[in-house]
Chains A and B, each alone.
Chain A
Amino acid sequence: MRKDIIIKLENVWKTYLMGEDNYVHALRGVNLEVRKGEFLAIMGPSGSGKSTMVNSVGCLDVPTKGKIYLESHDISKLHESDLAQIRGRMIGFIFQQFNLINTLTALENVMLPMIFQGMIPEERDERARELLEHVGLGDRMHHRPSELSGGQQQRVAIARAIANDPEVILADEPTGNLDSKTGNVVIDYLRKLHKEGKTIIMVTHDSNVAKAAERREYLKDGIIVKSL
């Protein structure tokens, strides 16, 4: 594997069993290489397998067949506990639904990934504050998600995604629940992270949003059909 390649998918299949013998192939032999520091958009209609692919890259799910390399480690056969460790350290997720924990404040939500990595309290408190300042929410730290707007929640999610300083950021329809103006703010933050050297993989079906990326892969029925 070339040194500048951070993620590599080799003939990745993901098959679900729906009902007794109804096999649904979400991915049918996907091959993909992502360079370190690249901003990649994965596009395609709903049901094309975009989310399945991102979940596999993000160590949330293991493929039925094929191999996934993350920094030259084959993660396709790892146990859940090891996967949890890898995604906590190397991957930051941003979801369409923001997926913040409602019982915790913005600050605590950002601290959570650092707690799971065993970072000492003073350090993570300081870092979480810095990150929230960074996304312009310095004055909202002690608010709970329900007291924040959609755009603000997504910025908390961005701060949380970069809490452990991961190599890769996976954004699954990050603007899907936002109006275009706040959506643009979020995209600007992704661009900024990209400039800082992060590898960004963004799933979207919105071609305007996808313009922010350097490269676009089109997925249809579980295979990559076009690359731009």
Chain B
Amino acid sequence: MIKDYFILTFRSLRKRKIRSWLTMIGIFIGIASIVALIGLGEGLRETINSQFGFLGTDILAITASGGLGPPGSGVVDSLTDKELNELKRVKGIEGAAGRIMESVKIVFNKKISFSYAISLPDGDDRKILEHVMTMEAQKGRLLEDGDKNVVFLGSMFFDKDNTFGKIISPGSKVEILGKEFRVIGIMEKKGNPMLDSVVFMNEDDLRNLVDRPKDEYDIIGVRFSESADINKIKQNIEKRLRKIRDVKEGEENFAVETPASMLEQVNSIILGIQIFVYIIAGISILVGGIGIMNTMYTAVVERTKEIGIMKSIGARNSTVFTLFFIESGLLGTVGGIIGTIIGFLAATGLALIGRLILKSELITAYFPMGLIIGAILFSFILGSFFGTLPAIQASKLNPVDALRHTK
């Protein structure tokens, strides 16, 4: 029965091809823009979240100089062992670990590349860092206490398209700043270009290699209890460091970054943009919906005689209602499906262009299944909703009056 209704509906939509398409354009512009912009927004959010994974979200990072600018450039006052120990005593802090970071020259297969080398501390601090960064080895193993002259590399080195023209795998020997290191493991791909191209080595190795004094750090990571107030801790740290470094408020030669709160800020900006987009697209969809309603009212008037005929040969009110309801639902659904496809293609295309031209990993498209199903379901509901009143009007027509109706 329902199948027959669909066939009947399809016939009458096909008869009014141009009008059906025009009506659907109203829907699919709205749906396409929603799908494309949400897809891009989600992609941006995913990328940013993975970038922040570099520091972990439940730690604070303290850097000398201010900002996350190139550390190890030498001109800033490095953080010291004394400061590290002082920070460990700040209220709310559960642990702190210092790390150094250097830009290094790597030679492999007679080719040269530059990357950041980052130190990993010994003992429990190592475990904590591995945990917050969700570090895992896809090949070989992670670094351990006591490892000497070995490195753990980001996934990019394992890529066959790497800058060395040859895959670096566990067991390979690489030359870093003129010294030979053995590769012990390769990290799982993080999707974050900086993390995927990093060189991890034990702290002693890196200190010896770049000749940094034992009590200097570029970054101090501070872990705090989940219940603690980040901003409060941040203030406490700043107060303590100002005292040690003897600087006034506003003239700090250090910075306290709070990845979690920054992430929240970025996310709230993305959300703000998305809400704005929702509103614009919502208006366009509303207009599209009213377009469906208008088309359906016109269809009812135009097909009054047809309704009369159907009633005279046994169609009940509910049958007539169903026919018109399906028709408007179909207009919405088909519009929604086309809109979703266009939105998907547009966002994917934009992301591709972004990666090719701007070389930015930030522009990616991400489509959760819920978005696609939601968009199509929503357009069906929209079509049906705006078709309800016209369908009721059609079903209530008096058969005699309807039959007398002349076009």
State whether A118 touches B1 (Cβ < 8 A): yes
When chains A and B are docked, how far (Å) is the Cα of A115 from the Cα of B313?
A: 10
When chains A and B are docked, how far (Å) is the Cα of A30 from the Cα of B317?
A: 29
Contact with A60, one of B316, B318, B400 (Cβ below 8 angstroms):
B400
CB distance from A94 to the nearest CB of B (A): 10
- On whether A101 and B1 interact (CB within 8 A), knowing A84-B314, A85-B316, A116-B319, the answer reads no
When chains A and B are docked, how far (Å) is the Cα of A104 from the Cα of B309?
A: 13
Closest chain A residue, CB of each to CB of B318:
A81
> Is residue A164 contacting chain B, with contact meaning CB distance below 8 A?
yes
Interface residues in B, total, Cβ within 8 A: 25
Residue of B310, B312, B316, B399 ringed by the most chain A CB atoms within 10 A: B312
When chains A and B are docked, how far (Å) is the Cα of A24 from the Cα of B11?
A: 40
Q: What residues of A have a CB within 8 angstroms of the CB of B315 in the complex?
A: 84, 88, 116
- On whether A89 and B12 interact (CB within 8 A), knowing A99-B309, A115-B1, the answer reads no
> Is residue B311 contacting chain A, with contact meaning CB distance below 8 A?
yes
- On whether A89 and B314 interact (CB within 8 A), knowing A99-B305, A101-B306, A101-B309, the answer reads yes
Q: What residues of A have a CB within 8 angstroms of the CB of B15 in the complex?
A: 102-103
> Is residue A117 contacting chain B, with contact meaning CB distance below 8 A?
yes
State whether B314 touches A85 (Cβ < 8 A): yes
> Is residue A129 contacting chain B, with contact meaning CB distance below 8 A?
no
**Interface 1/0s, chain A 110-133, versus B by CB < 8 A?**
001101111001000000000000
Q: What residues of B have a CB within 8 angstroms of the CB of A118 in the complex?
A: 1
Q: What residues of A have a CB within 8 angstroms of the CB of B403 in the complex?
A: 60, 95, 99
Residue of B1, B15, B309, B318 ringed by the most chain A CB atoms within 10 A: B309
> Is residue B4 contacting chain A, with contact meaning CB distance below 8 A?
yes
CB distance from A158 to the nearest CB of B (A): 13
When chains A and B are docked, how far (Å) is the Cα of A103 from the Cα of B323?
A: 14
Closest chain A residue, CB of each to CB of B313:
A113
A residues 44-93 near B (Cβ < 8 Å) are 55, 58, 60-61, 80-81, 84-85, 87-89, 93
Contact with A80, one of B8, B308, B309, B317 (Cβ below 8 angstroms):
B317
Q: What residues of B have a CB within 8 angstroms of the CB of A85 in the complex?
A: 314, 316
State whether A116 touches B318 (Cβ < 8 A): no
State whether B306 touches A84 (Cβ < 8 A): no
**Interface 1/0s, chain B 305-338, versus A by CB < 8 A?**
1101111111111110000000000000000000
> Is residue A160 contacting chain B, with contact meaning CB distance below 8 A?
yes
Q: What residues of B have a CB within 8 angstroms of the CB of A84 in the complex?
A: 311, 314-317, 319
When chains A and B are docked, how far (Å) is the Cα of A115 from the Cα of B8?
A: 11
State whether B1 touches A58 (Cβ < 8 A): no
B residues 1-52 near A (Cβ < 8 Å) are 1, 4, 8, 11-12, 14-15
B residues 383-401 near A (Cβ < 8 Å) are 398-400
Q: What residues of A have a CB within 8 angstroms of the CB of B306 in the complex?
A: 101-102
Q: What residues of B have a CB within 8 angstroms of the CB of A116 in the complex?
A: 310, 313-316, 319
- On whether A160 and B316 interact (CB within 8 A), knowing A61-B399, A115-B4, the answer reads no
When chains A and B are docked, how far (Å) is the Cα of A61 from the Cα of B305?
A: 16
State whether B312 touches A93 (Cβ < 8 A): yes
State whether B313 touches A58 (Cβ < 8 A): no
When chains A and B are docked, how far (Å) is the Cα of A160 from the Cα of B312?
A: 11
When chains A and B are docked, how far (Å) is the Cα of A28 from the Cα of B249?
A: 102
**Interface 1/0s, chain A 16-55, versus B by CB < 8 A?**
0000000000000000000000000000000000000001
When chains A and B are docked, how far (Å) is the Cα of A103 from the Cα of B11?
A: 6
Q: What residues of A have a CB within 8 angstroms of the CB of B311 in the complex?
A: 60, 84
State whether B399 touches A164 (Cβ < 8 A): no
When chains A and B are docked, how far (Å) is the Cα of A99 from the Cα of B306?
A: 8
Closest chain A residue, CB of each to CB of B13:
A103
State whether B399 touches A112 (Cβ < 8 A): no
Residue ranges of A at the interface with B (Cβ–Cβ < 8 Å): 55, 58, 60-61, 80-81, 84-85, 87-89, 93, 95, 99-104, 112-113, 115-118, 121, 160, 164
Q: Kindly list 20 other residue pairs between chains A and B, CB separation below 8 angstroms, not including A87-B312, A121-B4.
A: A55-B400, A60-B312, A61-B398, A81-B318, A84-B314, A84-B315, A84-B316, A84-B317, A85-B316, A95-B403, A99-B305, A99-B308, A101-B309, A103-B12, A103-B15, A104-B8, A113-B314, A116-B313, A116-B314, A117-B314
Q: List 25 A-B contacts (CB under 8 A).
A: A60-B399, A61-B398, A80-B317, A84-B311, A84-B315, A84-B319, A85-B316, A87-B313, A87-B314, A88-B315, A95-B403, A99-B305, A99-B308, A102-B15, A102-B306, A103-B12, A112-B310, A112-B313, A113-B313, A115-B4, A116-B313, A116-B315, A117-B314, A121-B4, A160-B313
